[in-house]
A and B are shown apart, each in its own frame.
Chain A
Amino acid sequence: MLEIKDLHVEAGGREILKGISLDVKEGETCVLFGPNGSGKSTLLSAIMGYGTCRVTKGKIMFKGKDITEMPVDERARLGIGMMMQRPPNVVGVKLGDLVKATAGGDVKAVDNASDFKMESFLERDINVGFSGGEIKRSELMQLTAQKPDFVLLDEPESGVDLENIDLIGKKVHDLLYAKNNNCPNGKRCVSSLVITHTGQILDYIGADKAYVLRDGLIRCTGRPMDILKDIKERGYGECISCRMVKME
C-alpha cells in the first residue's frame, strides 16, 4: 500500500530524514518508535505532503502511484488521512463545518459527535483553546468522517487521561476496521502507520510490524511487542545497537 524508498527530507533548512525506506502492506498496522526529535512527525508530514518539509531525494509510492510531488488534497482523495500531533488553530472556522466538508458536505457527519464527546465543540473554532485530549478526539472525529484507506496517527494516545484513552483506543480500532465504511466484519480494511512512545494504543489495535527511527534513519525493524520491550528495558541506544546486529 505504502512504500518509501531512500527518502531524504529537509525541514527548516536542515536535513531531518536521511534515507528512510519502509513499507506498509494493505491492512497492516505498522508502528513507528523513536526518541523525541528523531524525525517521526516529519516522516508523517512528508507522506501527507505538508509544505513544512521538502523531499530532496527518494520516493513515496502509494497504491502503486508515485505521490512524492502530489498536492496534499490529492493524497487525501487517494485515501490518506492523518491525525496530527499538533494541528494548527483555524480561527473563525467551526469544527462542525469542517467535519461536514470533510464528509463531502454530508450534514449527518456530525451526528456521531457525542461518540467522541465532541457535541459541544461543533460550534467552536477548530483547535482554538482545545485541550490536548480534546484535540485527539477532534482529529479522530474528522478522520472518521473522512473514511481514509490509510491513516497516519501521530501519538494518538499522548496526553489522554485514563478514561478517555479507552474512547480513543476504541475509535482508532473502529477506524482501522472501517466500522463506518462497509468493511467485512473482523477484517482490518484500513492500513496505518502509528507513532507511539508508550505503546498503550497497541492494546486496542494490535500491530504487525515496528520500525525504530533515530537521527533520521530507520535503525531496526521487528515485532512491535519485542521492540517495545527492548526500548522499555534498555532504552533506545541499546535496543538499536542490539537489533542492528540482528538485522545484519
Chain B
Amino acid sequence: MQNGEDGIRKALEKKGAFGPDVDLDYYDEAGMKESIPDLKKADKDTRQIMEHVGVMADEEGRAGTIMFIDNSMSHCSNKMPEGIELLSTKEALKKYDWLKDYYWKAVSPEKDKYTAKTYLDDADGYFIHVKKGVKATYPVQSCMLIGTKKGAQTLHNIIIADEDSSLDIITGCTTGNHVNDALHIGVSEIYVKKNASIVFSMIHNWGTKTKVRPRTGTIVEEGGHFVNNYVLLNPVGTLQSFPVCQLNGKGASCKFNTVCMADEGSNVDTGGSVILNAPETTAEIISRNIVREGNIIARGSLMGNAPGIKAHLECRSIMLGNKGSTQSIPELGSTVSDVEMTHEAAVGKIARDQIEYLMSRGLSEDDAVSMIVRGFLVGSIQGLPDHLKAEIDDAIEKANLGS
C-alpha cells in the first residue's frame, strides 16, 4: 500500500460520489481517551446513550462488547474468547501478519476523501474474528460514540467470519449529550467465508448538525450469508451511506434492510449495492422511509454478473406533511441473460381510506397513522431483530405522526 500513498493523498480532494461535500478541515481530531473497564460503572448519561442505540451496559445476552469513544477503544470484553476474538484493529494488525490480506481489501482507500482520511489518519477500530465452525448464540455489541465537539471520529473496523461460523453483531453509533456538530467516518470491511453467516444490525442516533459518512464493503464467499440492517430514527445533519456487497461464491446471499425517518432538515442519502459475481447468488435490498421535514434519497443498485442469480430491490417512502422531499433511485444491471432481477419503488402519502378504516374502529387519527407507519416500517420487512423493532416503535410513539 506504501507506494500508493500519493494516490491516496490525492484522494483527499475527491468528493464522495453521493451526498453533499463535507469540509474535513473544519473538524479537529476527536481526542478523548477514556477507559471504561466496567460499563455498568460508566456515568449515567453514557449508559443511557448506549442503550438508546441497542448497546446494553449490563451486557446481558451479549457475547461481548466493544466501545469506542472518539478514536480510541474504551472497552472490550469477551465472554466467549475460545470462539470469537475481539481486539482493536491496531492490536490485531500487530498480532496477525495475515490480516494485511484483509486490510483495505474490501474498501479502497482511494474511494473518496473519507476513506483517504481514514487511511492517512491510520485510524483504529474494532476487529471481530469468528473462528471456524463457531456459531455464536448471543450477539456481539459495539458502540461508537463521539464525545468531542467539532470532533472528527475516523474508525476502521474489520470483521471476519471463518468457514461455517455465524455471528450477529449489534452496532450503535451516536454522539454524546453535549455533542452535535461533529463528523463520523467509519470504514468497515466485512468478510463472510464459505457457509458462514453475519447479521449486522446498526442503529444510528446523531445530532442535527452531525455529518456522517460510513464506508462499508463486504465480500461473501460460497454459501455465505450476509444481512445488513440499518436504522436511522432521529434527525441528522447529513448522512450518506452506500455499502457495497460482493457475492463472490456460488450460492452466496445478501440482504440489506434500511429503515429511515428523516426529520427537521435532515439530509439522508442511503441505500446499498450488491454485485452478484457468482452463480446462483441471491440478493435483496429493501428500504422503507418516512419523510416529514427532511430529504431522503433511497438508492439501490443490483449488478448481475453470473447465471442463475435472483435479486430484488424495493424502495418505498411515505411522505407525511408537505415539507420534506424524497427520491427513489433504483438501478439494475446485468452482463448475463439467465438472471431474475426486479425492482419496485413507491413514493406517496398514506392512503386516507386506510387511516379512516382504523379510525372507524375507534382509534384516534394519531394512533391510526402510527399503526400504519409501524406496519410500513416493521411489519413489511421480514426478520428485523427485536431490539430494532422496539427502537422503531419507540420512535414512532414519540413522533406524534398524525399531527
A contacts, CB < 8 Å to B: 48-52, 71-73, 75-77, 80-82, 84, 87-94, 97-98, 101-102, 104, 125, 142, 146
Contact = CB atoms under 8 A, between A and B. Distances in A.
B365 A92 contact: no
B359 interface: yes
Contact of B359 (A73, A84, A104, A125): A73
Interface residues of B, number: 25
B372 interface: yes
Contacts, number: 83
- Main DSSP-derived SS at the B contact region: helix
B364 interface: yes
A98 B358 contact: yes
B363 A90 contact: no
Interface in B355-376: 356-365, 367-368, 371-372, 374-376
A82 B367 contact: no
B333 interface: no
A50 B353 contact: yes
A188 B217 CA distance: 67
Contacts of B360: 48-50, 72-73, 75-76, 80-82
B351 A88 contact: yes
B9 to A, nearest CB: 49
A92 B359 contact: no
Contact of A98 (B364, B371, B376, B380): B371
A101 to B, nearest CB: 6
A122 to B, nearest CB: 13
B379 A50 contact: no
Given A51-B352, A88-B354, A93-B379, A73 B371 contact: no
B378 interface: yes
A95 to B, nearest CB: 11
Given A50-B360, A92-B380, A146-B362, 13 more contacts: A52-B353, A71-B365, A72-B359, A73-B360, A77-B362, A80-B360, A91-B379, A92-B374, A94-B379, A97-B371, A101-B363, A101-B367, A125-B379
Contacts of A71: 359, 365
Given A50-B353, A73-B364, A91-B379, A101 B371 contact: yes
A94 B363 CA distance: 15
B361 A91 contact: no
A231 B354 CA distance: 35
B371 A72 contact: no
Contact of A87 (B357, B363, B368, B376): B357
Given A84-B357, A87-B357, A88-B354, A93 B362 contact: no
